[in-house]
């Protein structure tokens, strides 16, 4: 872990250094610090709040050894003040866990640290490192101390580490599997792998890759980041929304090719989907991740704000996304948390952090946010979505309704609807007149209502089978046109129930690009002539 050593090389500008690290990096960092001091034969001591002593730290056969007590101690900072420490490197943990302190306790602790730095200036040969997983210093302390932050390793650092440890050119898949893991996790897994002597070949590297993928899944699921899990879309494509689909699945995919970078082209960094519920905003984000082969990392704004320490969660999340690189950062239902924007509050601070990151980050992370009510988003936030665009996903027009019906009919009744993307009614089992009748009834339906009604028909068909037929399981599912038509007539359309709020949504999002072009299908209704008509 040579690169880690470079990161924690102390600069000696200040006798006191703070070092922020991931929980799994502790052991590696402590080992590295002992190693770095052994060349100067400088003793290393350690304390955390589980010890009543300061202990000596050494390495024995590459393992950390916590030695005999040097000094009784409940607060090591007091000992520094009493000038009771002998020369050496002292590593103290837990003193920067300010989160659990009251404001007064915190102020006392900060003063103690401040005083220590002043004292240590006159005690040569003593250096102190304060460890912490989330270090937030006051400006007063920031000026007095040296700060090091051990982030997640980048793809290049991972590649170099793997190559050194495995003496093998690491496959790209192995590198990607490690992206998003901390140094300590990678090191631990590699040690385990190398601990069992066996030949390193493509098979063993594949199984190592799998181990890393499983480890990352486990870590992310238990990270406290409340990352949302999104299943893969279970339909082959998105109905309607032709303009947006072309942008995503043609232009965006091409701009993400490594070849595009040769021309200095960069893929867009952020997109925003706005529209009524059930029109495919979340589905489109999932499909984009699938098509690009990116990881979909979702987090609801409500969860961030509800977390114990929202600022920390956001930092971890953004660092994780940057480190993994090929990620869609999915901010679903973003309007939910923005109600207190004007009043300042944590929402504003968090969003501000996102804004800065969205502008600055150089990783290929694509942010996709979805909202129902765009009026809750402040203008400075909207501007950030200019490159990928703000898109309006509205209720499907008549041609799109035909399209969406066929996706679900082919999924539920595949023996009857053999083509999920029919170019015309000739490729379906129903006539043009039947389709017109169905579309007349389904106008103003959302795609989710269409999907639901077709699924209900399949469930009804199955439940109508006899016990024998269900056991045999060899019946083809067939849908009767009139049955579907009746079911569609019974839909209690959300768009009718909430007509006013949907219209308001459209008015507020007047500047958004339409996801769908005008209906040019044979089912479109001719525009009615304006009252008064033309001349003649
Ligand atoms: N354009 C579409 N084509 C096919 N199916 C769709 C489409 N839009 C939505 N659906 C279906 O409806 C379901 C719900 O859609 P989705 O969750 O994407 O809606 P949404 O716009 O995110 O709604 P909300 O505003 O409530 O979050 C999808 O899982 C999918 O089955
Ligand atoms: Mg959604």
By CB atoms closer than 10 A (0-12, 13-18, 19+), residue 353 is: middle
User: From the CA of 455, how far away is ligand 1's center (Å)?
Assistant: 14
425 lines ligand 1 (CB under 6 A): no
Q: How far is CA 94 from CA 34, 101, 229, 284, in A?
A: 19, 11, 32, 44
- pLDDT over threshold 90, residue 307: no
The pLDDT-based confidence of 531 (bands split at 50, 70, 90) is low
For residues 330 and 333, give the distance between their C-alpha atoms in angstroms, rounded to a whole number: 9
Is the C-alpha dihedral spanning 102, 104, 108, 110 positive or negative? positive
For residues 279 and 397, give the distance between their C-alpha atoms in angstroms, rounded to a whole number: 12
Rounded (10°) CA dihedral 304, 376, 451, 518: -140
Please report the pLDDT score of residue 343 as a whole number.
65
For residues 387 and 211, give the distance between their C-alpha atoms in angstroms, rounded to a whole number: 37
Q: Indicate if 359 and 262 belong to the same structural domain.
A: yes
Task: Give the model confidence (pLDDT) of 79-137 as tens digits.
Answer: 888 877 888 999 999 999 998 899 999 999 999 999 999 998 888 889 999 999 999 99
* pLDDT over 90 percentage in the chain: 60
The verdict on residue 513 lying in a domain is no
The pLDDT-based confidence of 440 (bands split at 50, 70, 90) is very high
Neighbours of 267 (CB within 10 A): 18
- pLDDT over threshold 50, residue 536: no
For residues 454 and 408, give the distance between their C-alpha atoms in angstroms, rounded to a whole number: 6
Q: Indicate if 246 and 385 belong to the same structural domain.
A: yes
Contact status, residue 468 vs residue 423, Cβ threshold 8 Å: no
280 lines ligand 1 (CB under 6 A): yes
The pLDDT-based confidence of 40 (bands split at 50, 70, 90) is low
Q: Indicate if 283 and 317 belong to the same structural domain.
A: yes
By CB atoms closer than 10 A (0-12, 13-18, 19+), residue 221 is: exposed
For residues 62 and 38, give the distance between their C-alpha atoms in angstroms, rounded to a whole number: 13
| Lowest model confidence (mean pLDDT) among 287-291, 359-363, 527-531 | 527-531
Q: Indicate if 311 and 415 belong to the same structural domain.
A: no
Please report the pLDDT score of residue 424 as a whole number.
93
Task: Give the model confidence (pLDDT) of 461-518 as tens digits.
Answer: 999 999 999 999 889 999 999 999 999 999 999 999 999 999 999 999 999 999 999 9
As for how many domains the chain has, the answer is 4
Q: Classify 123 as helix, strand or coil.
A: coil
- pLDDT over threshold 70, residue 353: yes
More confident residue, 348 or 71: 348
Q: Which of 448, 501, 515 for mutating ligand 1's site (highest number of atoms within 8 Å of CB)?
A: 448
The verdict on residue 450 lying in a domain is yes
Q: Indicate if 136 and 15 belong to the same structural domain.
A: yes
User: From the CA of 180, how far away is ligand 2's center (Å)?
Assistant: 26
Q: Indicate if 433 and 461 belong to the same structural domain.
A: yes
Task: Give the ligand with the smallest distance to the CA of 286.
Answer: 1
Residue nearest atom 11 of ligand 1, based on CA coordinates:
448
The pLDDT-based confidence of 529 (bands split at 50, 70, 90) is low
CATH code of the domain in which 280 resides: 3.40.50.300
- Two tokens, residue 19: 């070092």
In this structure, are strands 63-72 and 16-20 parallel, antiparallel, or unpaired? unpaired
Chosen domain end from 365, 392, 419: 392
Output the average pLDDT for the chain: 89
Q: Indicate if 204 and 256 belong to the same structural domain.
A: no
For residues 534 and 536, give the distance between their C-alpha atoms in angstroms, rounded to a whole number: 6
More confident residue, 314 or 430: 430
Residue nearest atom 17 of ligand 1, based on CA coordinates:
282
Average pLDDT on 324-340 reads 81
- pLDDT over threshold 80, residue 77: yes
Query: H or E segment at 161?
Result: helix 155-166
The verdict on residue 51 lying in a domain is yes
Q: Which of 275, 276, 282 for mutating ligand 1's site (highest number of atoms within 8 Å of CB)?
A: 282
User: From the CA of 511, how far away is ligand 1's center (Å)?
Assistant: 22
Please report the pLDDT score of residue 421 as a whole number.
94
Q: Indicate if 183 and 257 belong to the same structural domain.
A: no
298 lines ligand 1 (CB under 6 A): no
Q: Indicate if 373 and 420 belong to the same structural domain.
A: no
The verdict on residue 237 lying in a domain is no
User: From the CA of 332, how far away is ligand 2's center (Å)?
Assistant: 6
370 lines ligand 1 (CB under 6 A): yes
More confident residue, 82 or 182: 182
Q: Indicate if 471 and 413 belong to the same structural domain.
A: yes
The verdict on residue 436 lying in a domain is yes
Q: How far is CA 472 from the centre of its chain?
A: 45
Which residue's structure tokens are 């949302």?
228
Burial letters 456-488, b for 16+ CB under 10 A, else e: ebbeebeeeeeeeeeeeeeeeeebeeeebbebb
Chosen domain end from 392, 421, 440: 392
Residue 386 is classified by DSSP as T
Please report the pLDDT score of residue 78 as a whole number.
85
Residue 308's domain comprises: 242-392
User: From the CA of 367, how far away is ligand 1's center (Å)?
Assistant: 19
Residue nearest atom 27 of ligand 1, based on CA coordinates:
277
Contact status, residue 278 vs residue 437, Cβ threshold 8 Å: no
Neighbours of 414 (CB within 10 A): 13
Q: Indicate if 327 and 305 belong to the same structural domain.
A: yes
User: From the CA of 231, how far away is ligand 2's center (Å)?
Assistant: 13
CATH code of the domain in which 124 resides: 3.40.50
Residue of 22, 29, 78, 31 lying closest to 54 (CA atoms): 78
Q: Indicate if 263 and 285 belong to the same structural domain.
A: yes
Task: Give the ligand with the smallest distance to the CA of 275.
Answer: 1
The verdict on residue 54 lying in a domain is yes
Chosen domain end from 392, 426, 442: 392
- Two tokens, residue 63: 């393992």
For residues 525 and 397, give the distance between their C-alpha atoms in angstroms, rounded to a whole number: 10
């Amino acid at each position: 872990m040579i690169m880690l050593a470079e990161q924690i090389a102390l600069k000696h500008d200040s006798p006191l250094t703070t070092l922020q690290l991931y929980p799994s990096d502790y052991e590696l960092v402590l080992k590295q610090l002992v190693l770095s001091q052994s060349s100067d034969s400088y003793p290393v001591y350690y304390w955390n709040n589980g010890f009543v002593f300061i202990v000596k730290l050494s390495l024995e056969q590459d393992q950390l050894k916590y030695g005999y007590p040097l000094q009784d101690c409940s607060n090591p900072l007091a000992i520094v003040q009493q000038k009771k420490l002998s020369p050496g490197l002292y590593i103290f943990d837990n003193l920067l866990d300010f989160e659990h302190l009251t404001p007064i306790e915190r102020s006392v602790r900060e003063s103690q640290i401040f005083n220590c730095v002043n004292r240590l200036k006159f005690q040569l040969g003593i250096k102190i490192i304060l460890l912490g997983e989330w270090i937030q210093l006051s400006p007063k302390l920031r000026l007095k101390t040296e700060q090091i932050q051990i982030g997640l390793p980048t793809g290049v650092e991972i590649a170099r580490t793997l190559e050194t440890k495995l003496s093998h050119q690491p496959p790209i898949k192995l590198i990607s599997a490690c992206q998003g893991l901390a140094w300590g996790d990678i090191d631990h897994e590699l040690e385990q792998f190398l601990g069992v002597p066996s030949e390193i070949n493509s098979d063993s590297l594949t199984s190592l890759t799998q181990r890393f993928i499983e480890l990352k899944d486990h870590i992310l699921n238990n990270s406290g980041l409340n990352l949302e899990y999104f299943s893969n879309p279970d339909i082959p494509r998105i109905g309607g929304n032709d303009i947006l689909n072309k942008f995503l699945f043609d232009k965006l995919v091409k701009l993400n090719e490594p070849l595009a970078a040769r021309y200095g082209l960069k893929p867009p960094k952020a997109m925003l989907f706005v529209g009524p519920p059930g029109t495919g905003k979340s589905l489109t984000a999932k499909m984009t991740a699938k098509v690009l082969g990116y990881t979909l990392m979702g987090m609801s704004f409500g969860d961030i704000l509800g977390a114990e320490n929202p600022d920390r969660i956001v930092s971890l999340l953004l660092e994780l996304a940057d480190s993994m690189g090929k990620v869609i950062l999915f901010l679903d239902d973003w309007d939910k948390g923005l109600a207190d924007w004007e009043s300042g509050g944590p929402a504003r601070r968090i969003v501000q952090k996102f804004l800065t990151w969205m502008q600055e980050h150089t990783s290929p992370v694509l942010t996709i946010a979805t909202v129902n009510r765009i009026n809750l988003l402040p203008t400075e936030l909207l501007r950030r979505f200019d490159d990928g665009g703000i898109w309006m996903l509205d209720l499907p027009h008549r041609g799109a309704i035909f399209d969406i019906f066929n996706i679900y009919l082919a999924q539920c009744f595949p023996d009857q609807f053999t083509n999920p993307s029919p170019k015309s009614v000739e490729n379906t089992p129903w006539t043009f007149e039947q389709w017109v009748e169905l579309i007349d009834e389904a106008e103003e339906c959302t795609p989710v209502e269409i999907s639901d009604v077709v699924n209900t028909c399949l469930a009804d068909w199955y439940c109508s089978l006899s016990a024998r037929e269900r056991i045999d399981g060899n019946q083809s599912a067939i849908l009767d046109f009139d049955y579907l038509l009746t079911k569609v007539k019974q839909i209690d359309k959300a768009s009718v129930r909430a007509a006013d709020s949907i219209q308001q949504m459209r008015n507020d999002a007047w500047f958004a690009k339409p996801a769908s072009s005008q209906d040019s299908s044979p089912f479109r209704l001719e525009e009615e002539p304006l009252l008064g008509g033309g001349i003649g």
